[in-house]
């Protein structure tokens, strides 16, 4: 009883016990934060007042895996493992890219459009012809992008596709919400821009980090 009374009345003792209990717990949560190529990746995101979960996050490589270009993150209302399941999933969705090196925005735009041509049928490309032209024009206005800068593509129900560069909205929304899934094919289609990234974004593999390679990023 005397010990119980001491705990109830001694504020300093209570604060000490809270620190002992809570600090290790908070450190554990910090340790569990996802890190991809030095980029902190949030396990949740909020788009149009809807909470999304991280479906997968990995590295886009170029030059046969020797050069890291960006970290790609895919957020969905619920986790899914196939492009068809993702397309059928209603609600908000997000693709978030964090650059790992400086790139020419025009070359980046050409890479995206090339990825669409490699993964989307001619009829689907024709359907989104105006949107593809607009997309090319958006990045054509940006001379270059530096390491650490970001590109975010959000599917917002009732609004369309909204693109942000470094957190700033670029242009007006693309009204056709299905355009999001056309863009997503760049990374998870039958001929993805990086075959090592696709299974990571689909949640089939935890990582495609090849940082142990002695020749990576020499070019």
Report the distance separating Cα 57 and Cα 60, nearest Å.
Answer: 10
Residue pLDDT, tens place only, 156-183: 999 999 999 999 999 999 999 999 999 9
Q: How far is CA 18 from CA 7, 12, 37, 130, 145, in A?
A: 12, 10, 35, 59, 46
Burial of 77 from C-beta contacts in 10 A (0-12 / 13-18 / 19+) = middle
Q: Residue 53: its pLDDT value, please?
A: 98
| pLDDT tens profile 49-102 | 999 999 999 999 998 889 999 999 999 999 999 999 999 999 999 999 999 999
**Percentage with pLDDT > 70 across the chain:** 81
Does residue 80 contact residue 181 with C-beta atoms inside 8 Å? Answer: no
Whether residue 131 contacts residue 179, with contact meaning beta carbons closer than 8 Å, is answered with yes
* Better pLDDT: 6 or 189: 189
CA torsion sign for 72, 78, 79, 80 is negative
Q: How far apart are CA 155 and CA 180, in angstroms?
A: 6
Q: What's the whole-number mean pLDDT along residues 177-205?
A: 97
Determine the average pLDDT of the residues in 11-31: 45
Predicted pLDDT of residue 26: 45
For the ranges 6-10, 34-38, 87-91, 200-204, the lowest mean pLDDT is seen at 6-10
Instruction: Note the pLDDT of residue 19.
Output: 53
Predicted TM-score (pTM) of the model is: 0.82
pLDDT at 15: 52
How many angstroms separate the CA atoms of 173 and 116, rounded? 19
- Write a three-state SS string for 82-112: CHHHHHHCCCCEEEEEEECCCEEHHHHHHHH
């Amino acid at each position: 009883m005397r010990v119980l009374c001491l705990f109830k009345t001694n504020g300093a003792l209570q604060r000490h016990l809270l620190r002992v209990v809570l600090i290790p717990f908070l450190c554990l949560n910090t340790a569990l934060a996802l890190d991809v190529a030095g980029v902190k990746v949030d396990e949740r995101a909020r788009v149009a007042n809807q909470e999304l979960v991280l479906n997968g996050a990995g590295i886009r490589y170029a030059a046969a895996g020797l050069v890291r270009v960006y970290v790609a993150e895919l957020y969905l209302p619920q986790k899914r493992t196939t492009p068809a399941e993702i397309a059928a999933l209603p609600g908000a969705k997000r693709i978030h890219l964090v650059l790992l090196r400086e790139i020419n925005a025009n070359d980046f735009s050409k890479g995206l459009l090339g990825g669409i041509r490699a993964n989307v049928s001619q009829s689907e490309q024709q359907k989104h012809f105006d949107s593809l032209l607009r997309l090319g024009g958006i990045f054509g206005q940006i001379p270059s992008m530096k390491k650490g800068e970001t590109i975010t593509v959000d599917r917002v129900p009732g609004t369309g596709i909204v693109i942000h560069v470094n957190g700033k909205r670029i242009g007006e929304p693309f009204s056709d919400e299905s355009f999001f899934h056309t863009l997503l094919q760049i990374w998870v289609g039958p001929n993805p821009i990086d075959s090592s990234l696709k299974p990571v974004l689909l949640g089939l593999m935890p990582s495609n980090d090849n940082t142990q390679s002695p020749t990576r990023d020499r070019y």
